[in-house]
A and B are shown apart, each in its own frame.
Chain A
Amino acid sequence: MIPAPAANRSHGIVRLEIPARAEWVAVARLAVAAVASRQRFSVDDIEDIKLAVAESCTNAIQHGTSDGTIEIVCEVSAEGVAITVRDRGQGPPLGAVEAERIGELGRTEELGVFLIRALMDSVEYTSDVRDGTQLVMIKRVSG
């Protein structure tokens, strides 16, 4: 697993809170793309990050939040970016999804989870009744 960027090497932290509603997801993905573009990510990598964050927000919306907001924290370092998406709801178990099953008709609910895991270098997921759901994703600058 790739370690999260160390605090003392952090180039900056950006925090964003959006209402847990579909119309706000575009704001989250564009903000995160703007943060990522300050690093040496390729255009493809930035698109990957945008999609992974959007999928995380979509999960939070679809599986409910008790206070109706989603918090997104981006920590930029020389190694890349660590993004935490947090909400107060209890999300679905984001277990590993086999690639062969994704193409089967009717398994669309797992597509988002599959994409997050496929596009990011590291994904850690925690969920409980008291603290809600948290997804920490890391994308490393390649090359």
Chain B
Amino acid sequence: MTKPVMTAQDVHLFYGKKEALKGITMAINWHQITAMIGPSGCGKSTFLRTLNRMNDLIPEVTITGNVSLEGQNIYAPSMDTVQLRKKVGMVFQQPNPFPFSIYDNVVYGLRIAGIHDRLKLDEAVETSLRAAAVWDDVKDKLDQSALALSGGQQQRVCIARVIAVHPEVILLDEPTSALDPISATKVENTLLELREQYTIVIVTHSMHQASRISDQTAFFYQGELIEMDNTKKMFMNPADQKTEDYISGRFG
């Protein structure tokens, strides 16, 4: 059951001359939650953003190595980033719904893909919001601005917005760090349910979060992947001394 959906081989990333990723090799397994942990500035968010080429937006970034999605190199010149990002969706640290209605937020990805059939859109809104576990909160106010929601609701609407375009992989960049604990728990439960249908990669600052929800965990330190393993094994019995120090709170 654990076949890789995405693989990275010897990925180096430079901001100008500074090397932010120093040869990352990892496999992201199908329908699992992969957590990336590590101290600030260790490169985990940067690596996450190489998986859907969001780093392309930053000038002076050079990337070497190979990242592939279902065997296809996503950095090949023939790769269409628009198609790639439909397959590899992303949820950001700050809840960032558009300043539109909740409905318009969720169907944004569908509309830009050229789907305008009202029935299809209505259906997508309900299934996506249900999948993101926020349907009951917002079903009566779909035409209200998404900015009027609480932070946790906003973040789950953002997750619904990604789900609506049916990606294969969902990347989440510290999705709960701007939320209160109760909202964070709701988002976590949402992710656990989504694992049935999606492959999830999550960057998190919270070791507890990683241990609670992920199947495998990767520990980044200073641009290197120190250790990656089954989450249980990694938290109970880490192979590397640095990993043990970090997860036991001795630094970071």
Q: A and B: partners?
A: no
Residues on B facing A (Cβ under 8 Å): none
